[in-house]
Chain A
Amino acid sequence: MVTETRNNTRKLVIMPAYNEQDTVVEQCREVQSKAPGYDIIVINDHSEDETLARCSQAGIRVLNHSVNLGIGGAMQSGYRYAAANGYDIAVQVDGDGQHDPEFLDAMLDKLIEEDADMVIGSRFIEREGYQSTTVRRWGIRYFSGLIRLLTGQRVTDPTSGYRMVRGDLIGALAREYPQDYPEPESVVRLLRQGRKVVEVPVKMRERGGGTSSITAWNSVYYIIKVRMAIMLERMRK
């Protein structure tokens, strides 16, 4: 039954890319070979390099931002595209090569089996693959604890961008998506709305090119902003 549902759904890979010219095409090819049932839309968030040109040359469909919006705005574009084109499943796969498309099947199975709204690919369940830096792991553990405290649910990798959603949640995220380091915040929002969020173990790779949106200078701001956003989520409604 799981296989049946799997084949009848329209599935979309949303690939946000900002200055990822060296990895984005390769990453798309990998999705096409490892997960042939998925359509791909690259969101070019006003890259200053050849990201757009290389995608177009390779025949990859691109949504092109005429100004840089950041990851939140890029993902929202992807969800808007998914909603407008009637997709049932949408999954974020970053353009920098961190997310191995090999795990898409496992994520989809979990989504259907558990009848969940969102599946997050977590680095920290089986603790395999790239585990990020020590300082970042502390930060992630901190958010994880905070989310558990506020929602009572265990989310081991709330900062993971590797996440799959389905159904009406696509439309909801298209209408409203947190901006500025949106991952932990959106997890809390969904949990507070009574959505079901589950995790599957994945192995992540070190980024193949480009730079993380979270630099050393920004990390203090990151912690404070996300913490405030999470507390605000708690106070809403």
Chain B
Amino acid sequence: MINTRLKIFLFVICFLVFIFLILKLRKRKADIKYILPWILLDAGVAVITAFPGILSYFCDLFGIETPSNMLFFFALILLGMVVFSMTLTISKQNEQIRDLTQRLALWEDRQSERTEDE
């Protein structure tokens, strides 16, 4: 179904992605909370590469004709979920940044008033 050469190629990619993710974690460029889904995804791809039969099984289950169509479909849904959760996170953070900026501005104003009084 998948030839050996492609299999090795996919494993190498999965491995490199995994290393990349771990490095980001080590350098504290990203939280475990946000990296974990990507690690799981990477592991999932590795498992499917090792056992392509899984794909065919689910293809039959959902009545999708070819495994590649199913992969695209589920990849799209997954990415959609990831991006939407980011939309929510950004909205929330915008609000938090706004509140902090306003608090800081008011606090600085009170501080400068206090130093003037002294």
Q: Which residue of A lies closest to B113 (CB)?
A: A61
A67 at the A/B interface (Cβ < 8 Å)?
yes
A43 to B105, CA, bound (A): 9
Of all chain B residues, the one with the shortest Cβ separation from A41 is B109
Query: Complex Cα distance A43/B104, Å?
Result: 13
CB distance from B10 to the nearest CB of A (A): 42
Q: Roughly how many angstroms separate A179 CA and B105 CA in the complex, as a whole number?
A: 18
* Complex Cα gap A61–B97 (Å): 23
Are A73 and B104 closer than 8 Å at their CB atoms? no
Tell me which residues across on chain A come within 8 A of B102, comparing CB atoms.
65, 69, 73, 76-77, 80
A61 to chain B, nearest CB (A): 7
Most chain A Cβ neighbours within 10 Å, of B97, B98, B101, B105: B105
Structural contact, A76 and B106, CB atoms closer than 8 A = no
Q: A171 to nearest B CB, angstroms? A: 14
Q: Is A84 an interface residue (CB 8 A)?
A: yes
Q: Which residues of B from 92 to 110 have beta carbons under 8 Å from A? A: 97-98, 101-102, 104-106, 108-109
The 3 closest A-B pairs by CB, nearest first: A63-B105, A77-B102, A73-B98
User: What A residues does B98 contact at CB under 8 A?
Assistant: 69, 73, 76, 179
**Which B residues between 66 and 112 are near A, CB-CB below 8 angstroms?**
97-98, 101-102, 104-106, 108-109
Expressed in whole angstroms, the Cα–Cα distance for A175 and B108 within the complex equals 20
* Interface 0/1 of A41-82, CB less than 8 Å to B: 001000000000000000001111111010001001100110
A63 with B109: CB separation less than 8 A = yes
Chain A residues with a Cβ under 8 A of chain B: 43, 61-67, 69, 73, 76-77, 80-81, 84, 179
Number of A-B contacts (CB under 8 A): 36
B106 touches A81 (CB 8 A): yes
Distance of A64 Cα from B108 Cα, bound (Å): 8
Which B residues form the contact surface with A (CB < 8 A)?
97-98, 101-102, 104-106, 108-109
- 17 residue pairs bridging A and B, Cβ less than 8 Å apart: A61-B109, A63-B105, A63-B106, A63-B109, A64-B108, A65-B105, A66-B105, A67-B101, A73-B98, A73-B101, A76-B102, A77-B105, A77-B106, A80-B102, A81-B106, A84-B106, A179-B98
Inter-chain pairs besides A63-B106, A64-B105, A66-B105, 11 sampled, C-beta below 8 Å: A61-B109, A62-B109, A63-B105, A65-B101, A65-B105, A69-B97, A69-B101, A73-B101, A77-B102, A77-B105, A179-B98
**Cα distance A179–B106 in the bound complex, in angstroms:** 19
Q: What distance in Å separates the Cβ of B108 from its nearest Cβ neighbour in chain A?
A: 6
A113 CB to nearest chain B CB (Å): 33
A212 to B: closest C-beta gap in Å: 22
Q: Which residue of A lies closest to B94 (CB)?
A: A179
For B97, list chain A residues within 8 Å (CB).
Answer: 67, 69
